[in-house]
Amino acid sequence: MIKLTLVSIWAILCAILFLAINIYAIVQVTRGNKKPRKPTVVAVPDIAIEEMEKIVQDKNSAIEALKAVIEALIAHHTIEAKKDGKTSKGAKRLLDLIFTMAGHKNMSTDLRADTLKRFGKANPSYAKDFDRALTKN
């Protein structure tokens, strides 16, 4: 009788342990099978260069407008690399825009530094120019 009771207790404990292990495994598998969220892509509006120049030249432009110009420049306008150490006319126009924006009165020091570093990474042939502008300001 005692033997039968001990065997039945042992069987019940084994069943409970078996169920606990299976439940734990199911929980771990379902956690791993969750579909990752798709990253949200923020569409950067393409702003015409003429409009960017107006925003940058306006001394009262808000910081949000300047940030929009920065993002549009990085996303939609590439600066032609120097050829034989010379800058093309199109590149000069974009560089003038960037350096004018860097000197804008509403640009914070951190935003100015971050912007010039981002442009330096995106345009290695002008990295020294951006570094020089960064140290001047």
State the Rg of the chain over Cα. Answer: 31
Q: Please state, as a whole number, how many other Cβ atoms lie within 10 Å of the Cβ of residue 106.
A: 15
Q: How confident is the model at residue 136 (pLDDT cuts 50, 70, 90)?
A: confident
CA 6 vs CA 1, 12, 19: distances in Å: 9, 10, 20
∠ CA 40-45-48, nearest 5°, is 160
What's the pLDDT tens digit per position in 3-37? Answer: 778 888 888 989 999 999 999 988 887 777 667 77
Give the residue-averaged pLDDT of 61-80. Answer: 88
What residues does each domain of the chain span? 49-136
Q: How far apart are CA 87 and CA 43, in angstroms?
A: 30
What's the pLDDT tens digit per position in 81-132? Answer: 888 888 888 889 888 988 888 888 888 889 889 988 988 888 888 888 888 8
The one-letter amino acid code at 30 reads T
Note the pLDDT of residue 23.
92
